[in-house]
Amino acid sequence: MNYKKIVLLISLGIVFIFIVIVGSNRFYTIDDEIKQKIKEEQIEREERKEKEQILRKKIEDLKYPLLVFTFDDGASSDYEIVYPMFREKGIKGTSFVVGNWINKDGFMNIEQIKEMLNGGWDIQGHTLEHKRLKELKSDEVVEQVIKNNERFKELGLPEPKHLALPYGQINEKDRSLLAEYRKTIRNVSSTSSGRTNNWEDIDFTSLNSVNIDTADVDRIKEDIDFAIETNSIIILYGHRIGEDDYQTPLNTLKEITDYIIEKNIETVTISEMYDRVIDFQDKVKQ
Ligand SMILES: [Zn+2]
């Protein structure tokens, strides 16, 4: 073996060792990087989880039970029976009135409505003529709401911002059209997806509500209890006070009103409920 060969072999040896060291180092580095990344991801996950828990707690702390007591059609009994009864108990209601029925026999007149407004009641819209919206064309549906605004204006009433659907029914494509004119749209029991509305995912254009006309009082009380237990929003609705079909029996009204007082669930108007939820949503975002 000559000198040149030895040098070559040594050189190759050095290169080989160099490759092995650099190579293993490289693998070692990649392995380290992966480990580091996994660690970082784990920390991120934990931080995210912690943030979610804090937000969850914040939401839970901001929620409370709320009740909205509404009456449809604007019957004269809203003023003659419900208004004085509620005033005595210190609670406020909401009347969804039909523009063209105001001042008609059996319905509230404009003076009565204005007195209730001054007394803290909310007067909102139940369309101009109480037609079955499902049977109308889209432009006719919108007209029922816009013309009710005009009717309110004509009578010197604040423009309605909330709607109770006549018969609780509407074609879904028209519901989204009406959402441009109203802050909320209230369903009836049969078209509601639940007994109450959740603060965090309330659907303003499809509010769940509970009818008090024919349902037995114990069932309604259970629904109120459910709202209290789950810190959710319950919307009750009745009609003319009376014993016939689609009327609210006086005894039912009395019993439920007493139960609301007994259970001390805060009762607000539909406008107040809307403002409270907006306020809640703002606080959650902060
Ligand atoms: Zn109605």
CA of 244 to the centre of ligand 1 (A): 15
* Backbone φ and ψ of 266, nearest 5°: -65, 130
Q: What is the mean pLDDT of the chain?
A: 94
Is 70 exceeded by the pLDDT of residue 27?
no
Per-residue pLDDT band at 221 (split at 50, 70, 90): very high
Which DSSP helix (H) or strand (E) runs through 184? strand 184-186
Report d(CA 283, CA 286) in Å as an integer: 5
* Mean pLDDT, range 34-47, rounded to an integer: 93
Which pLDDT value is given to residue 7? 82
Whole-number pLDDT of residue 286: 86
Res. 13 pLDDT band, cuts 50 70 90: confident
Give the orientation angle of helix 270-285 with respect to helix 3-62, to 10 degrees. 160
The DSSP annotation for 191-239 comes to G-SSSSB-TTT--TTSB--EE-SSS-HHHHHHHHHHHHHTT-EEEEEE-
pTM over 0.75: yes
CA dihedral sign, ordered 34, 39, 43, 46? positive
CA of 121 to the centre of ligand 1 (A): 18
Contact present, 64 and 231 (Cβ < 8 Å): yes
pLDDT at 165 over 80: yes
CB neighbour list of residue 118: distance below 8 Å, 6 or more residues apart: none
Q: Which of 232, 229, 228 is nearest to 209 (CA)?
A: 232
Task: Tell me how far the alpha carbon of residue 166 lies from the centroid of ligand 1, in angstroms.
Answer: 5
Please give the distance, rounded to the nearest whole angstrom, from the Cα atom of residue 273 to the centre of ligand 1. Answer: 21
Is there a contact between 284 and 59 (Cβ–Cβ < 8 Å)? yes
- The CATH superfamily holding the domain 64-285 is Glycoside hydrolase/deacetylase (3.20.20.370)
- E strands in 59-183: 66-73, 94-97, 122-125, 162-164
Transcribe 236-255 into DSSP letters: EEE-SBSSSTT-B-HHHHHH
Q: Distance, CA 54 to ligand 1 centroid (Å)? A: 43
**Tokens linked to 264:** 């001390």
Q: State which residues have CB under 5 angstroms from ligand 1, the bound ion.
A: 72-73, 166
63: CA distance to ligand 1 center in Å? 31
On the 0-12 / 13-18 / 19+ scale of CB atoms within 10 A, 94 is: buried
